[in-house]
Amino acid sequence: MLDVYNLSKSIDKKPFLSELTFQVAAGESLILLGRNGAGKTLLLNILATLVEPTSGSIFISGIDAFSNLKRVRPHIGYIPVDFEGYPELSVVDYLQFFAAAYKLEKQERTAAIDAVIELMDIPHLRDMKIGALSTGERQRLLFAKTFLHEPQLWLLDEPLAPLDPRGQIEMVELFNELQMMGKTLVIATNRLEDVSKLCGIGTETEPNTNLLGILNDGKFAVFNTIRQIQYEFKVKNKSENLKPNWLAELYLEVTKS
């Protein structure tokens, strides 16, 4: 579904991303892990077609993204780490604006907006001004807005960071449901604990379809399925069982300067 080939990005001749090649299929999620400044948000912006790469190609649902922006953008849903703008709009007016922007038929808009408000459990916020919402409430509104056009590719920057523990649990459940619907997720985080939550590490329901990419100096220091990474870590350390802090050990090992 998402195919990236030899993707590089330089700014003022300084390389920030270098020759990234990877694929994420429908129903899979890719967790991007890295320190602040590792290039995670830049990569999301490129995948969202907001920033053009210096070189390389991106195909989304088989479409060459930067050669067919109008065709490919309806397939993309991007949820940034920061919510900007529209403080004086009410929640429902904000959703009305984007329903029109996404070219939903007028007779469909009310039903679609009611559905996403219910889905994200924000009916009590319907008439509130965006400027009065908490960070977690704004996050839910961003998800509601994104659901309006039902994108195939979801790009999420630190989606758990603004949420309280209950909100994080509910959001992880939502991500699992999106995968079961065949959606493709690319999720950036700089927190090890988020990787464990997002990938279901240590749970009986840990999925086979989660990929982990550790970005370091603009390249993937690690890129594979979680289970394969765990297997290789056990083999390397000649251990039958993983230590509770195995991911932290791996991260420190592969990101040494």
Mean pLDDT of 206-228: 87
The pTM for the full model equals 0.93
How far apart (Å, rounded) are the C-alpha atoms in residues 141 and 128? 11
Residue 106 — very low, low, confident or very high, per pLDDT cuts 50/70/90?
A: confident
Residue 159 — very low, low, confident or very high, per pLDDT cuts 50/70/90?
A: very high
Mean pLDDT of 71-83: 91
Q: What is the DSSP string of 164-176?
A: -HHHHHHHHHHHH
Mean pLDDT of 216-227: 93
Mean pLDDT of 213-238: 92
pLDDT at residue 150 in the model = 92
How far apart (Å, rounded) are the C-alpha atoms in residues 220 and 18? 9
Helix (H, G, I), strand (E, B) or coil at 7: strand
* Beta-carbon contacts of residue 244 (< 8 Å; ≥ 6 apart): none
For residue 135, is pLDDT > 90?
Answer: no
On average, the pLDDT of the chain sits at 91
Which of 144, 203, 130 lies closest to 174, judged by CA? 144
Mean pLDDT of 50-67: 96
Q: b/e for 14-31, b at 16 or more Cβ within 10 A? A: eebbbebeeebeebbbbb
Sign of CA dihedral 42, 45, 50, 56: positive
pLDDT at residue 60 in the model = 97
pLDDT at residue 83 in the model = 78
Percent of the chain at pLDDT > 70 equals: 96
pLDDT at residue 156 in the model = 96
For residue 168, which phi and psi values (nearest 5 degrees)? -65, -45
For residue 99, is pLDDT > 90?
Answer: yes
For residue 207, is pLDDT > 60?
Answer: no
Query: Poorest-confidence range of 2-16, 117-131, 228-242?
Result: 228-242
Mean pLDDT of 15-24: 96
For residue 242, is pLDDT > 70?
Answer: yes
* Beta-carbon contacts of residue 232 (< 8 Å; ≥ 6 apart): 224
- Joined together, the tokens standing for residue 131 give 């400027």
